[in-house]
Chain A
Amino acid sequence: MKPKNQRLILVAAALLAVLVAVLLAMWGLREQAAYFLTPADIVAGKAEPGRAVRLGGMVEAGSIQRQADGVSIRFTLTDGKARTPVLFRGIVPDLFREGSGAVAEGRIQDGTFVADTILAKHDERYMPPELGNLSAEHKAGKTLDQ
Chain B
Amino acid sequence: MPRAAKGTSRPLQLRYLAHARSGDKGNTANVGLIALRPEWYDLLRREVTVARVARHFRGMVSRVERFELPNLHALNFLLHDALDGGGTISLKTDAQGKVYSTALLRMEIPVPTTLARRRASKPA
Are A and B co-members of a single complex?
no
Which B residues lie at the A interface, using CB under 8 A?
none
